Amino acid sequence: MSQAAFVPEPLPRRLAEAARALADLARDPSRLDRVFDLGVALNAGRIPRILARLEADPETRRLLDEQPSIDSAHVDFDALERLPDGTLGREYVRFLRDNGISPDVFKRPNVGDDRVAFIMQRIRQTHDLWHVLTGYAPDLRGEILLQAFTYAQLRAPSALAITVLGLVRHGRGQRGFARDVRNAFRRGKAARKLATYRWENRWSAPLEDLRRELRCPLSAS
C-alpha cells in the first residue's frame, strides 16, 4: 500500500471542476457520477485531516489496512437475499434490486494514495447502506436529505453544496422541505460515525437493532 502523502489538485482546477459538476447537477440531479466528481473536487482539501483522524483510531486503522470492498466480487448478494426480512443484508439487497442499483460501479478514484482512494470508494460503496439505515428514498428529495445527513457526519463541502443547491432549486413550493433538511442534519449529528462502520460484520443483524446501536432511529421526514 502506498504511504506517500496525498497532494490534492490545485484549488483553481478543483473549483473549476466543481462548478462544472454543479452545473450538470442543476440540469440533471440524477447524475450520480457528477455527485461523486463534485465530492473529489470539493473534498480533496479536507482529505489529509480526515485521514490523520482516521489513522489515530486503532479500529479504523485496521479498516485502512484491510481495505474491504462491498461489491459482487467480495459479497455474496444472493446469500444476503436469503436472510430473514428485516435484517440489514436482506433489506440492503432488496433496496439495490428494487432500484436497479449495483455497488460494482464505484471504482477507486485515481488520486495517488491508496488510503485516500479507499476512503473515497468506501463512502461511495456504502452510500446505499446509509439510505437503508436512514430510510431516505433514492429519489431527488431523499438524496438531498441524505446529503444534509452526510454533511453533519463528514463536514464534506460537496454534501453542503448539494444540500444548498437542492434547497434553492427544488425546495421552493415544497412545504416543510427546509424543516426536513434541518432534521436530516440533526439526525446526522446525533448518529454514530458511519463512514468507517463495519457493515460486513452485521449483515444478519435486525435493522431496527442497528438503528438503535447507531443512534439513527427512523424519522418522519
How far apart, in Å, are the Cα atoms of 34 and each of 4, 25, 116, 125, 143? Answer: 27, 7, 19, 15, 13
Which has more confidence, 6 or 161?
Answer: 161
pLDDT, tens only, 103-159: 998 888 777 788 888 888 898 899 999 999 999 999 989 999 999 999 999 888 889
Domain extent at residue 149: 11-213
pLDDT bin (cut points 50, 70, 90) of residue 220 is low
30 part of a folded domain = yes
- Give the separation between CA 85 and CA 128, rounded to whole angstroms: 18
155 close to 46: Cβ distance less than 8 angstroms: yes
Bridge partners of 87? 206
158 part of a folded domain = yes
6 part of a folded domain = no
221 part of a folded domain = no
Q: What is the pTM of this model?
A: 0.85
Residue 62: other Cβ atoms inside 10 A: 11
220 part of a folded domain = no
Residue 205: Cβ-neighbour burial (10 angstroms; 0-12, 13-18, 19+) = middle
47 part of a folded domain = yes
Q: What is the pLDDT of residue 12?
A: 83
142 part of a folded domain = yes
Domain count, the chain: 1
pLDDT bin (cut points 50, 70, 90) of residue 180 is very high
2 part of a folded domain = no
